[in-house]
Amino acid sequence: MKINSISDLALSKIKPKMTISLGGGSNVFKLSQAIAQHNLDITLYSPSELTRFRCKELGLELLPSTAATKIDIAFDGCDSIDKNFNVLKSLGGIHLFEKQAAQIAKQFILLLPSQRIQPILNPKIPLCLEVAPPCVNQVQKYLSSLHLTSKIRQDSSVAAFARTPLGNYLIDVFNEDWHNITELNRQLCLQNGVVSSSLFENLTTSLITEKDGEIIELKRGNNHENI
């Protein structure tokens, strides 16, 4: 198989009888289009309601990832990734379900443009918390005590706050940089009402991207000092 795109290399990793999870993003959707064209003998899941809907239009039947007991490969995108493969998946707002798929997958492979790969996580991307409604004010007060800027995410289509599939709010947390994000995330996840955060640590096994016109795979644990 000739590798011309990120989705081509991703497709080459899929073998018959595998269970595959498809997250969100344009590269993952291109992979779903390729899967639809090849009539593969695989079982498909997705943590994303939108991905499941779009794939149904392609003739693919996807089950919610919560129905999966095992996943061979979970493909997804991300908003920022650092040289240690720490990942922020903040902008989609379904990180609880995406993280669940990643945790049970044998491989968690990210498909993304190379500009999202940086030595440290991009401070323009917030750390997103999913918070139960009764605890939103309490969590925001705690964030303020840490001198962190936060805001409740608004729905872009209606005059209301965004809600997760579980009915929770999303709080976007901003900082000047993310050098301390691991410890900060640990503290925040201990707060009452915080259901999940958009920081993914020690979950990504590899990423597929394009660099200097070549489609490449970078694996966790290798030296990526030149990122």
Domain limits for position 150: 127-197
Q: Note whether 106 and 133 are same-domain residues.
A: no
Q: Note whether 11 and 85 are same-domain residues.
A: yes
Say what angle helices 136-145 and 181-189 make with each other, to 10 degrees: 140
pLDDT given at position 160: 87
Is the confidence at residue 226, as pLDDT, over 60? no
Asked whether the beta carbons of 14 and 73 are under 8 A apart, the reply is yes
Report which of 175, 113, 124 is spatially closest to residue 147, judged by C-alpha positions. Answer: 175
pLDDT given at position 158: 76
User: Per-residue confidence at 110, pLDDT binned at 50, 70, 90?
Assistant: very high
pLDDT given at position 151: 96
Asked whether the beta carbons of 55 and 22 are under 8 A apart, the reply is yes
Q: Note whether 80 and 156 are same-domain residues.
A: no
* 55 falls within a domain: yes
Total domains in the fold of the chain: 2
Q: Note whether 205 and 93 are same-domain residues.
A: yes
> How high does pLDDT run on average in the chain?
94
Q: Note whether 13 and 93 are same-domain residues.
A: yes
Q: Note whether 166 and 54 are same-domain residues.
A: no
pLDDT digits (tens, 9 = 90+) for 35-52: 999 989 999 999 999 999
Is the confidence at residue 225, as pLDDT, over 90? no
User: Per-residue confidence at 1, pLDDT binned at 50, 70, 90?
Assistant: low
